A and B are shown apart, each in its own frame.
Chain A
Amino acid sequence: KQEVTQIPAALSVPEGENLVLNCSFTDSAIYNLQWFRQDPGKGLTSLLLIQSSQREQTSGRLNASLDKSSGRSTLYIAASQPGDSATYLCAVIPLGGQNFVFGPGTRLSVLP
């Protein structure tokens, strides 16, 4: 059974820092991996989708990498801003599955 974990559970950094969020999954047989952002009281916003054949995806200040064989993904945020404060969720679709399996999220606070 696929399980997804995220470290750290919470992170607080001063504005301007570069930071890395980690995601691990137990079964490397996946279709894709996606990073989402969840703001308090709001739904989820898709940030980056990495197909199983890809190694990374970039969007603006965000870069997500995927090492499928080791069951790991990282989300790199450059030059963090207070507006980046949110919970970041990692999710995978297992091979043969049709729905996302989510991690518990990392709660990020960027202090001005």
Chain B
Amino acid sequence: DTAVSQTPKYLVTQMGNDKSIKCEQNLGHDTMYWYKQDSKKFLKIMFSYNNKELIINETVPNRFSPKSPDKAHLNLHINSLELGDSAVYFCASSLNPGLVPETQYFGPGTRLLVL
């Protein structure tokens, strides 16, 4: 009965590779998010999708491309991975009446290490 799930949990890869992280929520929420938590533990928004449409795109390199095949899924594809991409990536979802988010529910995180 997992609410927000992410795969994989751990990802170790070489610089220059392309990788994807998947996220699924079974809460029936309209909005999904990707956050990045760096080595200093700061959590920062990367993207937000509402009903499969992009509504937030912070200053993120275009090597990062989110894809939402339906409102229950928001996947993150990263091209040409760099050392600085090493971080924990969290997916989240919320029910958004009027597009102002209420409580957000977070996935367990994907720990990405780029060598």
Contact = CB atoms under 8 A, between A and B. Distances in A.
Partners in one complex: yes
Interface of A: 31-32, 34, 36, 41-46, 49, 87, 89, 91, 93, 98-102, 104-105
Contact of B107 (A43, A93, A98): A43
Contacts of A34: 103-104
30 contacts: A32-B102, A34-B103, A41-B109, A43-B4, A43-B106, A43-B107, A43-B108, A44-B43, A44-B92, A44-B104, A46-B104, A49-B102, A49-B103, A89-B43, A91-B43, A93-B100, A93-B101, A98-B48, A98-B99, A98-B101, A99-B33, A99-B45, A99-B48, A99-B56, A100-B43, A100-B104, A101-B45, A102-B43, A102-B44, A104-B40
B2 to A, nearest CB: 11
Given A98-B48, A98-B55, A98-B56, A46 B41 contact: no
Given A43-B106, A102-B43, A104-B41, 9 more contacts: A31-B100, A43-B90, A43-B107, A91-B43, A93-B100, A99-B101, A100-B43, A100-B104, A102-B42
A98 B92 CA distance: 13
A102 B101 CA distance: 14
A22 to B, nearest CB: 17
Contact of A105 (B41, B105, B107): B41
B57 to A, nearest CB: 11
Interface in B34-52: 40-45, 48
**Nearest 9 CB-CB pairings of A with B:** A43-B106, A99-B45, A44-B106, A102-B43, A43-B108, A46-B103, A31-B100, A43-B107, A43-B109
Contact of A98 (B41, B100, B106): B100
B67 to A, nearest CB: 19
Nearest to A44: B106
B51 to A, nearest CB: 13
Contacts of A31: 100
A100 B108 contact: no
Contacts of A98: 48, 55-56, 96, 99-101
